[in-house]
Amino acid sequence: MNTQETILLEDTYQIPTYRKYPVALVKGQGCYVWDAEGNRYLDFYGGHCVTLLGHCPPRVVTALKQQVEQLLFYSNVVYSPVRARAAALLAEMAPEGLRHVFFCNSGTEANETALKLARTYTGKPGVIALIGGFHGRTLGSLAVTEPIGYRKPYLAVLPPTHFVALGDLEAVEQLLAQRDDIAAIILEPIQSMAGVYEAPVAYYRALRALCDRYNALLIFDEVQTGVGRTGTFSIAEQYGIRPDLITLAKSLGSGVPVGAVLVSDAIAASVRYGDQGTTFGGGMLAMAAVTATLETLREEGLMKRAPQIFARIRDGVADHVVAVRGRGCLIGLELDRPAAPVLSRLREAGILAGNASHPNVIRLMPPLNTPDEAIEMFIDTFLHVLTSVNQPQTTTA
Protein backbone atom coordinates (compact mmCIF):
# COMPACT_ATOMS: atom_id res chain seq x y z
CA MET A 1 0.00 0.00 0.00
CA ASN A 2 1.53 3.32 -1.03
CA THR A 3 1.28 6.64 0.77
CA GLN A 4 -1.69 8.00 -1.17
CA GLU A 5 -3.69 4.78 -0.71
CA THR A 6 -2.93 4.85 3.00
CA ILE A 7 -3.98 8.48 3.35
CA LEU A 8 -7.23 7.81 1.50
CA LEU A 9 -8.21 4.89 3.74
CA GLU A 10 -7.32 6.64 7.00
CA ASP A 11 -9.08 9.85 6.04
CA THR A 12 -12.14 7.89 4.94
CA TYR A 13 -12.59 5.73 8.01
CA GLN A 14 -10.90 7.47 10.94
CA ILE A 15 -12.40 10.30 12.96
CA PRO A 16 -10.42 13.43 11.98
CA THR A 17 -8.86 14.24 15.36
CA TYR A 18 -5.32 14.86 14.08
CA ARG A 19 -3.90 17.13 11.40
CA LYS A 20 -1.36 14.67 10.04
CA TYR A 21 1.85 14.98 8.10
CA PRO A 22 1.40 13.59 4.56
CA VAL A 23 3.74 10.71 5.35
CA ALA A 24 2.92 6.99 5.71
CA LEU A 25 5.63 5.32 7.78
CA VAL A 26 6.29 1.59 7.48
CA LYS A 27 9.66 1.02 9.17
CA GLY A 28 11.88 2.47 11.87
CA GLN A 29 15.39 1.76 13.10
CA GLY A 30 17.32 3.88 15.55
CA CYS A 31 16.78 7.57 14.84
CA TYR A 32 15.47 6.93 11.31
CA VAL A 33 12.10 6.01 9.81
CA TRP A 34 11.09 5.07 6.26
CA ASP A 35 7.89 5.77 4.37
CA ALA A 36 5.93 3.50 2.04
CA GLU A 37 8.00 4.65 -0.94
CA GLY A 38 11.31 3.93 0.80
CA ASN A 39 12.22 7.52 1.63
CA ARG A 40 14.27 7.85 4.82
CA TYR A 41 13.66 10.51 7.48
CA LEU A 42 15.74 11.55 10.47
CA ASP A 43 13.19 11.42 13.28
CA PHE A 44 13.65 14.19 15.83
CA TYR A 45 9.97 14.08 16.81
CA GLY A 46 9.72 10.49 18.00
CA GLY A 47 5.97 10.14 17.55
CA HIS A 48 5.12 12.76 20.23
CA CYS A 49 8.26 12.36 22.39
CA VAL A 50 8.08 8.56 22.66
CA THR A 51 11.12 6.90 21.07
CA LEU A 52 13.69 7.64 23.78
CA LEU A 53 15.91 4.77 22.59
CA GLY A 54 15.14 5.22 18.92
CA HIS A 55 12.86 3.00 16.89
CA CYS A 56 12.79 -0.76 17.49
CA PRO A 57 15.52 -0.85 20.16
CA PRO A 58 16.93 -4.40 20.00
CA ARG A 59 16.51 -5.29 23.66
CA VAL A 60 12.88 -4.15 23.66
CA VAL A 61 12.10 -6.02 20.44
CA THR A 62 13.64 -9.22 21.83
CA ALA A 63 11.75 -8.90 25.11
CA LEU A 64 8.45 -8.40 23.28
CA LYS A 65 9.03 -11.40 21.01
CA GLN A 66 9.78 -13.61 24.00
CA GLN A 67 6.75 -12.39 25.93
CA VAL A 68 4.41 -12.84 22.96
CA GLU A 69 5.34 -16.52 22.87
CA GLN A 70 4.78 -16.99 26.61
CA LEU A 71 1.70 -15.01 27.69
CA LEU A 72 0.09 -12.11 25.85
CA PHE A 73 -2.08 -10.89 28.67
CA TYR A 74 -3.69 -11.42 32.02
CA SER A 75 -5.20 -8.76 34.24
CA ASN A 76 -4.16 -7.48 37.67
CA VAL A 77 -6.27 -10.11 39.39
CA VAL A 78 -3.16 -12.34 39.34
CA TYR A 79 0.52 -11.79 40.10
CA SER A 80 3.00 -11.64 37.22
CA PRO A 81 6.80 -12.10 37.25
CA VAL A 82 7.22 -9.69 34.34
CA ARG A 83 5.14 -7.04 36.15
CA ALA A 84 7.06 -7.64 39.36
CA ARG A 85 10.39 -7.11 37.59
CA ALA A 86 9.19 -3.93 35.91
CA ALA A 87 7.87 -2.48 39.17
CA ALA A 88 11.06 -3.30 41.07
CA LEU A 89 13.32 -1.83 38.40
CA LEU A 90 11.22 1.32 38.10
CA ALA A 91 11.33 1.73 41.87
CA GLU A 92 15.12 1.37 41.84
CA MET A 93 15.51 4.11 39.23
CA ALA A 94 12.87 6.48 40.64
CA PRO A 95 13.82 9.33 42.98
CA GLU A 96 14.32 8.36 46.62
CA GLY A 97 11.02 8.24 48.48
CA LEU A 98 8.88 7.51 45.41
CA ARG A 99 9.18 3.75 45.34
CA HIS A 100 5.55 2.73 44.83
CA VAL A 101 4.01 2.51 41.37
CA PHE A 102 0.62 2.24 39.71
CA PHE A 103 0.78 1.05 36.10
CA CYS A 104 -1.77 2.24 33.56
CA ASN A 105 -1.99 2.73 29.81
CA SER A 106 -1.20 6.36 28.96
CA GLY A 107 -0.14 9.76 30.20
CA THR A 108 -3.64 11.11 30.60
CA GLU A 109 -4.63 8.06 32.65
CA ALA A 110 -1.54 8.51 34.81
CA ASN A 111 -2.46 12.15 35.43
CA GLU A 112 -6.06 11.29 36.26
CA THR A 113 -4.83 8.66 38.70
CA ALA A 114 -2.50 11.17 40.35
CA LEU A 115 -5.34 13.66 40.73
CA LYS A 116 -7.62 10.99 42.21
CA LEU A 117 -4.95 9.90 44.68
CA ALA A 118 -4.25 13.49 45.70
CA ARG A 119 -7.91 14.23 46.34
CA THR A 120 -8.41 10.99 48.24
CA TYR A 121 -5.27 11.41 50.35
CA THR A 122 -5.94 15.03 51.32
CA GLY A 123 -9.73 14.87 51.42
CA LYS A 124 -9.80 18.10 49.42
CA PRO A 125 -11.12 18.69 45.87
CA GLY A 126 -9.25 21.76 44.63
CA VAL A 127 -6.34 21.76 42.21
CA ILE A 128 -3.93 24.45 41.03
CA ALA A 129 -2.55 24.09 37.51
CA LEU A 130 -0.48 26.31 35.24
CA ILE A 131 -1.44 28.46 32.29
CA GLY A 132 -0.02 26.79 29.20
CA GLY A 133 0.03 23.35 30.80
CA PHE A 134 -1.09 20.26 28.88
CA HIS A 135 -1.99 17.11 30.81
CA GLY A 136 -4.27 15.13 28.49
CA ARG A 137 -7.61 15.11 26.71
CA THR A 138 -9.74 12.80 28.86
CA LEU A 139 -12.07 14.72 31.15
CA GLY A 140 -10.11 14.50 34.39
CA SER A 141 -6.85 15.60 32.79
CA LEU A 142 -8.63 18.07 30.56
CA ALA A 143 -9.81 19.90 33.68
CA VAL A 144 -6.19 20.86 34.45
CA THR A 145 -5.18 21.51 30.83
CA GLU A 146 -5.31 25.27 30.49
CA PRO A 147 -5.69 26.23 26.82
CA ILE A 148 -9.38 27.06 26.56
CA GLY A 149 -9.65 25.56 23.10
CA TYR A 150 -9.28 22.09 24.59
CA ARG A 151 -11.68 22.67 27.49
CA LYS A 152 -14.40 24.98 26.19
CA PRO A 153 -16.85 22.35 24.83
CA TYR A 154 -16.76 20.48 28.16
CA LEU A 155 -16.72 23.24 30.77
CA ALA A 156 -20.12 22.23 32.12
CA VAL A 157 -18.83 18.85 33.27
CA LEU A 158 -15.23 19.67 34.24
CA PRO A 159 -14.28 20.14 37.89
CA PRO A 160 -13.07 23.71 38.53
CA THR A 161 -9.33 24.35 38.44
CA HIS A 162 -7.35 27.40 39.57
CA PHE A 163 -4.91 28.42 36.82
CA VAL A 164 -1.83 30.53 37.52
CA ALA A 165 1.06 31.66 35.33
CA LEU A 166 4.31 29.73 35.21
CA GLY A 167 6.72 31.39 37.63
CA ASP A 168 4.06 33.34 39.56
CA LEU A 169 4.68 32.22 43.14
CA GLU A 170 2.62 35.06 44.58
CA ALA A 171 -0.51 33.80 42.83
CA VAL A 172 0.09 30.28 44.13
CA GLU A 173 0.62 31.41 47.70
CA GLN A 174 -2.42 33.66 47.57
CA LEU A 175 -4.63 30.74 46.52
CA LEU A 176 -3.17 28.41 49.14
CA ALA A 177 -3.51 31.01 51.87
CA GLN A 178 -7.07 32.02 51.01
CA ARG A 179 -8.51 28.56 50.35
CA ASP A 180 -8.46 25.45 52.48
CA ASP A 181 -9.66 23.10 49.74
CA ILE A 182 -6.52 22.79 47.59
CA ALA A 183 -5.41 19.17 47.31
CA ALA A 184 -2.52 19.58 44.90
CA ILE A 185 -0.54 21.59 42.41
CA ILE A 186 0.01 19.81 39.09
CA LEU A 187 2.50 21.02 36.51
CA GLU A 188 4.78 20.02 33.67
CA PRO A 189 8.28 20.98 34.86
CA ILE A 190 8.95 21.94 31.25
CA GLN A 191 5.82 23.02 29.39
CA SER A 192 6.47 21.16 26.17
CA MET A 193 3.43 21.79 23.99
CA ALA A 194 3.26 25.44 25.05
CA GLY A 195 6.67 26.07 23.50
CA VAL A 196 9.19 24.35 25.82
CA TYR A 197 9.09 26.78 28.73
CA GLU A 198 10.79 26.27 32.09
CA ALA A 199 10.95 28.51 35.15
CA PRO A 200 14.12 29.08 37.20
CA VAL A 201 15.01 26.22 39.55
CA ALA A 202 14.20 28.41 42.56
CA TYR A 203 10.56 28.45 41.45
CA TYR A 204 10.16 24.68 41.74
CA ARG A 205 11.88 24.63 45.11
CA ALA A 206 9.56 27.38 46.32
CA LEU A 207 6.53 25.41 45.11
CA ARG A 208 7.73 22.46 47.17
CA ALA A 209 8.01 24.68 50.23
CA LEU A 210 4.55 26.19 49.68
CA CYS A 211 2.98 22.76 49.33
CA ASP A 212 4.61 21.68 52.58
CA ARG A 213 3.45 24.82 54.38
CA TYR A 214 -0.16 24.56 53.26
CA ASN A 215 -0.52 20.75 53.26
CA ALA A 216 -0.97 20.39 49.52
CA LEU A 217 0.63 17.75 47.30
CA LEU A 218 3.02 18.49 44.45
CA ILE A 219 2.41 16.51 41.24
CA PHE A 220 5.06 16.53 38.52
CA ASP A 221 3.66 15.54 35.13
CA GLU A 222 6.81 14.01 33.66
CA VAL A 223 5.09 12.29 30.77
CA GLN A 224 7.57 14.10 28.51
CA THR A 225 10.48 15.04 30.79
CA GLY A 226 10.69 11.70 32.60
CA VAL A 227 12.60 8.44 32.07
CA GLY A 228 15.90 10.25 31.59
CA ARG A 229 15.02 12.52 28.67
CA THR A 230 16.41 15.63 30.40
CA GLY A 231 19.52 13.95 31.82
CA THR A 232 18.21 12.43 35.06
CA PHE A 233 15.45 9.88 35.50
CA SER A 234 13.24 12.63 36.93
CA ILE A 235 13.91 16.29 36.26
CA ALA A 236 13.12 16.84 39.96
CA GLU A 237 16.56 15.40 40.72
CA GLN A 238 18.10 18.39 38.94
CA TYR A 239 15.95 20.74 41.02
CA GLY A 240 16.95 19.10 44.28
CA ILE A 241 13.36 18.42 45.35
CA ARG A 242 10.99 15.48 45.61
CA PRO A 243 7.41 15.77 44.35
CA ASP A 244 4.73 13.73 46.10
CA LEU A 245 3.66 12.10 42.84
CA ILE A 246 5.32 11.77 39.42
CA THR A 247 3.48 10.67 36.29
CA LEU A 248 5.24 8.88 33.44
CA ALA A 249 4.29 7.54 30.01
CA LYS A 250 5.55 8.10 26.43
CA SER A 251 9.23 7.03 26.67
CA LEU A 252 8.56 4.45 29.38
CA GLY A 253 7.66 1.64 26.96
CA SER A 254 9.66 2.65 23.88
CA GLY A 255 6.44 2.83 21.86
CA VAL A 256 4.35 0.22 23.65
CA PRO A 257 1.42 2.02 25.36
CA VAL A 258 2.08 2.31 29.09
CA GLY A 259 1.79 4.88 31.86
CA ALA A 260 2.80 4.94 35.50
CA VAL A 261 2.38 6.97 38.67
CA LEU A 262 5.17 7.04 41.24
CA VAL A 263 4.00 7.86 44.76
CA SER A 264 5.39 8.23 48.26
CA ASP A 265 5.08 5.65 51.02
CA ALA A 266 2.42 7.70 52.79
CA ILE A 267 0.21 8.04 49.72
CA ALA A 268 0.63 4.37 48.83
CA ALA A 269 -0.37 3.38 52.36
CA SER A 270 -3.58 5.41 52.08
CA VAL A 271 -4.88 3.56 49.01
CA ARG A 272 -7.66 1.05 49.56
CA TYR A 273 -8.68 -1.86 47.36
CA GLY A 274 -10.91 -0.53 44.61
CA ASP A 275 -9.75 3.10 44.78
CA GLN A 276 -8.33 2.76 41.29
CA GLY A 277 -8.15 0.04 38.67
CA THR A 278 -7.34 -0.80 35.08
CA THR A 279 -7.83 -3.89 32.95
CA PHE A 280 -4.85 -3.46 30.67
CA GLY A 281 -2.53 -1.41 32.89
CA GLY A 282 0.43 -3.56 33.92
CA GLY A 283 -0.18 -5.98 31.05
CA MET A 284 2.58 -8.41 30.18
CA LEU A 285 3.68 -6.88 26.87
CA ALA A 286 3.87 -3.40 28.34
CA MET A 287 5.81 -4.65 31.35
CA ALA A 288 8.29 -6.49 29.15
CA ALA A 289 8.83 -3.27 27.21
CA VAL A 290 9.25 -1.22 30.39
CA THR A 291 11.85 -3.58 31.81
CA ALA A 292 13.83 -3.72 28.57
CA THR A 293 13.67 0.06 28.17
CA LEU A 294 14.88 0.74 31.70
CA GLU A 295 17.62 -1.89 31.51
CA THR A 296 18.91 -0.37 28.27
CA LEU A 297 18.77 3.13 29.70
CA ARG A 298 20.71 2.17 32.80
CA GLU A 299 23.22 -0.32 31.44
CA GLU A 300 24.21 1.84 28.46
CA GLY A 301 24.46 4.99 30.58
CA LEU A 302 22.32 6.92 28.12
CA MET A 303 21.04 9.62 30.47
CA LYS A 304 24.42 11.34 30.48
CA ARG A 305 24.09 11.70 26.72
CA ALA A 306 21.07 14.03 27.02
CA PRO A 307 22.90 17.25 28.04
CA GLN A 308 25.57 16.57 25.42
CA ILE A 309 22.97 16.42 22.64
CA PHE A 310 21.31 19.59 23.91
CA ALA A 311 24.61 21.46 24.05
CA ARG A 312 25.61 20.49 20.51
CA ILE A 313 22.26 21.48 18.99
CA ARG A 314 22.22 24.72 21.00
CA ASP A 315 25.73 25.64 19.90
CA GLY A 316 24.96 24.76 16.30
CA VAL A 317 21.81 26.83 15.88
CA ALA A 318 21.79 29.50 18.62
CA ASP A 319 23.09 32.28 16.37
CA HIS A 320 20.26 31.66 13.89
CA VAL A 321 17.21 31.49 16.18
CA VAL A 322 15.53 33.72 18.75
CA ALA A 323 15.98 31.23 21.59
CA VAL A 324 16.94 27.65 22.39
CA ARG A 325 14.95 26.31 25.35
CA GLY A 326 14.63 23.05 27.23
CA ARG A 327 16.91 20.43 28.70
CA GLY A 328 18.50 17.29 27.34
CA CYS A 329 16.50 15.77 24.50
CA LEU A 330 13.45 18.01 24.94
CA ILE A 331 14.36 21.10 22.94
CA GLY A 332 12.44 24.13 21.71
CA LEU A 333 13.78 26.34 18.94
CA GLU A 334 12.01 29.70 18.75
CA LEU A 335 12.29 31.23 15.30
CA ASP A 336 11.84 34.79 14.08
CA ARG A 337 9.11 33.56 11.73
CA PRO A 338 6.26 31.02 11.74
CA ALA A 339 7.52 27.49 12.21
CA ALA A 340 5.05 25.75 9.88
CA PRO A 341 6.88 26.48 6.59
CA VAL A 342 10.18 25.50 8.18
CA LEU A 343 8.73 22.22 9.44
CA SER A 344 7.32 21.48 6.00
CA ARG A 345 10.63 22.20 4.31
CA LEU A 346 12.48 20.09 6.88
CA ARG A 347 10.15 17.20 6.11
CA GLU A 348 10.83 17.60 2.40
CA ALA A 349 14.54 17.48 3.26
CA GLY A 350 14.09 14.25 5.22
CA ILE A 351 13.74 15.44 8.83
CA LEU A 352 10.72 15.07 11.12
CA ALA A 353 10.29 17.64 13.91
CA GLY A 354 7.33 18.91 15.92
CA ASN A 355 5.32 22.08 16.29
CA ALA A 356 4.05 23.79 19.45
CA SER A 357 1.22 26.03 20.56
CA HIS A 358 3.59 28.95 20.06
CA PRO A 359 3.47 29.43 16.27
CA ASN A 360 7.19 30.21 15.99
CA VAL A 361 8.50 27.21 17.96
CA ILE A 362 9.88 23.94 16.63
CA ARG A 363 10.17 21.09 19.11
CA LEU A 364 12.92 18.48 18.93
CA MET A 365 12.76 15.19 20.85
CA PRO A 366 15.69 13.15 19.55
CA PRO A 367 16.58 9.75 21.03
CA LEU A 368 19.20 9.66 23.76
CA ASN A 369 21.35 7.39 21.59
CA THR A 370 21.30 9.64 18.52
CA PRO A 371 24.77 9.40 16.91
CA ASP A 372 26.88 12.51 16.41
CA GLU A 373 26.61 12.34 12.63
CA ALA A 374 22.81 12.48 12.81
CA ILE A 375 22.99 15.57 15.03
CA GLU A 376 25.33 17.25 12.57
CA MET A 377 23.00 16.30 9.73
CA PHE A 378 20.12 17.97 11.54
CA ILE A 379 22.08 21.16 12.22
CA ASP A 380 23.30 21.46 8.63
CA THR A 381 19.87 20.78 7.16
CA PHE A 382 18.09 23.10 9.60
CA LEU A 383 20.42 26.01 8.82
CA HIS A 384 20.04 25.42 5.09
CA VAL A 385 16.24 25.29 5.39
CA LEU A 386 16.16 28.54 7.37
CA THR A 387 17.78 30.37 4.48
CA SER A 388 15.30 28.96 1.97
CA VAL A 389 11.98 29.83 3.60
CA ASN A 390 10.17 33.15 3.76
CA GLN A 391 11.80 36.14 5.40
CA PRO A 392 10.98 36.89 9.06
CA GLN A 393 7.41 37.88 9.85
CA THR A 394 5.97 39.44 12.97
CA THR A 395 3.60 37.06 14.78
CA THR A 396 1.87 37.09 18.13
CA ALA A 397 2.42 34.17 20.50
Specify the pTM: 0.96
Residue 160 pLDDT: 86
The answer to whether position 220 is within a domain reads yes
**The CATH number of the domain where 253 resides is what?**
3.40.640.10
Question: What's at 279, amino acid-wise?
Answer: T
Rounded CA-CA distance 202/238 in Å is 11
* Res 304 pLDDT > 50: yes
The answer to whether position 234 is within a domain reads yes
The answer to whether position 235 is within a domain reads yes
- The verdict on whether 134 is a catalytic residue reads yes
The answer to whether position 46 is within a domain reads no
pLDDT in tens, 262-271: 999 999 999 9
The answer to whether position 228 is within a domain reads yes
Rounded CA-CA distance 353/372 in Å is 18
Of the candidates 44, 134, 220, 382, the residue annotated as catalytic is: 134
Domain that holds residue 145: 59-299
The overall average pLDDT reported for the chain is: 96
Q: 220 and 115 in contact (C-beta within 8 Å)?
A: no
The answer to whether position 107 is within a domain reads yes
* Res 42 pLDDT > 70: yes
pLDDT in tens, 63-95: 999 999 999 999 999 999 999 999 999 999 999
Of the candidates 103, 124, 244, 250, the residue annotated as catalytic is: 250
Rounded CA-CA distance 185/270 in Å is 19
The answer to whether position 199 is within a domain reads yes
The answer to whether position 29 is within a domain reads no
Q: How many domains does the chain have?
A: 1
Q: Environment class of residue 15 by beta-carbon count within 10 Å: exposed (0-12), middle (13-18) or buried (19+)?
A: exposed
- The verdict on whether 221 is a catalytic residue reads yes
